[in-house]
Structure formats: structure tokens, C-alpha cells
Amino acid sequence: QKNLLASGGGTADRMIRFWNTTTGQCLNSVDTHSQVCSLQWSKHDKELVSSHGFSHNQLILWKYPSMVKMAELTGHTARVLHMAQSPDGTTIASAGADETLRFWKILSGGDHKKELAGNNDNLMKMKAIR
């Protein structure tokens, strides 16, 4: 979507806010109940992944614009500092302050959408490297 910016707040704020970059108007906000460390838009669908620190060291998959939680992903034991998306748009790599790198196969990835929708086991595969 053109002219849309998502921003995340820190430990005290805990909000994800959506901004119109042309007008500067805040379009929506959602309280995540946790420090927002990183945000990653899906390459293929209207989905957003947020990574968190205090007090829940997790990732959350959101459906945009409703901001319905589609999944809460736990595994990190400290703040989830960074995220990157795979070239095919299906996997998020997360790096935590717990010195682990985790791979989450959680996004639909365009052409893979039907395959993933039919098999919930594939929806949330996670691998960890330490």
C-alpha cells in the first residue's frame, strides 16, 4: 500500500502504529503488550510480523489491516532483535539477544499459499541455530 508506514514502540509504549506518510496522520494503532523490536511486512500478502522484547520474547504474525493475531511464536529466551524475510517470502529469520538464530516458515509466499493453507503442520515450522 502506498504512503503507509508502520512503526513500533519501546518498552513503555508497546504500540504498533500505522501512518499515512503523505499527511502524517496516524491511521491505526494496536497495543502489543510488549516492547516492539522489529517489524517485517510480508512480500506477498497483507500480513505483518512483529518481534518483541520485554516482557514477551516472541514474534507475532498479524493480518493487516484488521490486526488480528494469526500466530504467536515463542522460542527465544531474550529480546528478538532483528528479522529478515526469505527471497520466496515464506520464511522469517529472527535473531535474538539469546544468541540464537531461528527460522519460521509462517508466511504464505504467494504461490505457496494453497499448499500452506491445506497443511497446518507446515504453517509454523521453526528451526533454531545456536
Share of the chain above pLDDT 90, in %: 82
Rounded Cα gap, residues 5 and 53, in angstroms = 21
Taking 90 as the threshold, does the pLDDT of residue 96 lie above it? yes
Q: Read off the pLDDT of residues 74-95 as tens digits, 9 standing for 90 and up.
A: 999 999 999 999 999 999 999 9
For the segment 2-25, what is each residue's pLDDT rounded down to a tens digit?
999 999 999 999 999 999 999 999
Please tell me whether the overall predicted TM-score, pTM, comes out greater than 0.75 for this model: yes
Report the pLDDT averaged over residues 98-122. 70
pLDDT of residue 122: 43
